[in-house]
Structure 1
């Protein structure tokens, strides 16, 4: 089959690789759509921290935002999965350690992250295999576009929940990329007053079209940092109300300084978000009931052969304002 392979920094190409075969407890997925994420870009550039620490090494087959149809099941796997449209958890723990046993498999020290770290190649390919226990069935009402946006949606929903805000309170979101805009959509669905701050004119225009306003004056009852700007974490601390919360989901290529004296003296709670795991069911439900529609965030759907250029920052000339690029491996 065809799959995108990252051989090293700035070295990406579509290659013919062996067809995956589902093992015990696994399923084979025919990928319908896969998303290109900022993490995939960092894998491409070599900036991902996992590459610096040796957790991940080249070659890498990326892609962790996906949906598809189960086309085969391995031994000891329920045949009822056949033919179902599904997505899956990116974070796959060992299942035996104390973290996994207490619901924290997404931070298991021995975890696989599909297409990022460990032994499970990613979904920027025609097919992939994943453990059946990581699957989430998608309702018939969800098309492949929405299905491929469940994973980033789960991250965004976890971020909004972590603010601990209630309806009517004021949330500031730093960043108008996919995660920032998804956070805005989920926050609005929960009755929060949402404002955004960003730099990209097209993304800011899209935010306005979606009914959101740019940030004016505080107070801000919570701040979500969904940027890759190393100065944003400290800015979030400056802007949040004392005694409230900052949620960090964005990552920069370099360490981000935060003055912990200010964190203490403002009595602020800082929360980090890694992975969508606990947010996947809620994201699926919100997409299915129509309270959140992620599809306007898709700027274009491209072919596998176009992914290398997209990772290098070259968006298709025909792309719309949406920040997210999806991939149709069948093209």
Structure 2
């Protein structure tokens, strides 16, 4: 089958590789759609920290935002999965440790991440092998574009839950990339008054097209109480700004990652009695994200700027947008093309 293979920093190509076989407890999925994520870009450029620690190494096969249809089942898997449309959890814990047994498999010490770490092949390929325990069925109302947005949607939904808002309270989202916009969409669906901040007016364009009219640059940000602030950016200075802006005794949620260490003055955190929450992965948010897509309360499809074939993945990883792409931040890949 065809699969995208990263062979070194800045080096990637579509190769012919052996198709996966459904091992005991696994299924093989015919992949329908895959999202290109910032993590995939960092694996491509060589900037991903896992490449320095040895948790990931070349050659590797990326892709962790995906959906598809089950084509084969291994021993021990209910055959009723065959033919079903699914997406899946990126985070694969050992299933035996205390973290896994208490619902925290996404921070398992032996965690493997599909398309990211410990040699687990990703979905930028015609087929993908996945443990059946990681699968989530997709209703008919969730099309391939939404199915491949379930994983980032789960991340964003977890950030909204962590913000601890009541309906009508005010949320400020820092950053208008995929996760920032998804966070805004899920927060709006939950009844929050949503504001977004970006580095410049151009970065606010998609937010406006999604119906958010309270969007700001830093210079224009109004002096109002922020009942929660979510940092969904990759700017090292914004976690500190989030702490500065949030109301005392409320919450700052950090879901973005900067390329260098961020500085937060814990004296401000203590004296303001602020709760800071970090979000890693969409595991616990996947069912809620899929349900919101299915019932129409969140429509994330405008975030997808274009869908291209597998041969277009290298351009997407290198930041070259397809001709005719829309303004959304997300590029999708259809490996069947």
Q: Does 1:81 align with 2:87?
A: no
Pairing 1:242–2:227 present: no
In structure 1, how many angstroms separate the alpha carbons of the residues matched to 2:29 and 2:148?
A: 13
Partner of 2:27: 27
Q: Which runs of 5+ in 2 are unaligned?
A: none
Residue by residue over 1:34-82, the C-alpha shift from the partner in whole angstroms, topping out at 9 and shown as x without a partner, is 0000111111111112122222111111000000000011112111001
Matched-pair contact (CA < 8 Å) for 1:27–1:70: yes
Q: Which moved more, 1:252-261 or 1:156-165?
A: 252-261
- Match of 1:72, SS state, is strand
The equivalent position to 2:233 in structure 1, one of 220, 227, 230, is 227
Residues 154-233 of structure 1 aligned to structure 2 (within 5 Å): 154-199=154-199, 201-212=201-212, 213-215=214-216, 216-217=221-222, 218-233=224-239
Which residue of structure 1 lines up, in the alignment, with residue 312 of structure 2?
Answer: 306
Aligned-partner Cα distance in 2 for 1:200–1:151: 27
The one of 303, 314, 326 equivalent to 1:320 is 326
Equivalence for 1:2: 2
* Farther off after superposition, 193-202 or 119-128: 193-202
Structure 2 residue 293 is the aligned partner of structure 1 residue 292: no
The reply on whether 1:271 has 2:277 as its aligned counterpart is yes
**Which whole-Å CA distance do the structure 1 matches of 2:267 and 2:46 have between them?**
33
> What is the rounded CA distance, in whole Å, between the counterparts of 1:235 and 1:5 in structure 2?
39
Distance in 2, Cα, partners of 1:203 & 1:12: 29
Is this contact kept in 2: 1:36–1:326, CA < 8 A? Answer: yes
Structure 2 CA distance for partners of 1:201 and 1:317, relative to 1, 3 Å: farther
State the TM-score, normalized to the length of structure 1. 0.98
* Residue of structure 2 equivalent to 1:139: 139
Matched, 1:256 2:262: yes
Q: Which stretch shifts more, 253-262 or 33-42?
A: 253-262
Alpha-carbon RMSD: 1.0
Change (3 A) 1:41 1:137: same
Q: Tell me the distance in 1 between the aligned counterparts of 2:130 and 2:27.
A: 6
Q: How many residues align structurally? A: 331
Q: 2:60, 2:119 within 8 Å by CA — same for their partners in 1?
A: no
Q: Unaligned stretches of 5+ in structure 1?
A: none
> What residue is the counterpart of 2:114 in the other structure?
114
Checking the alignment, whether the CA contact within 8 Å between 1:176 and 1:200 is kept in structure 2 is no
Contact 2:153 2:179 in 1 (8 A): yes
TM score, norm. by length of structure 2: 0.96
Mapped to 2, the partners of 1:13 and 1:260 lie a distance apart of 45
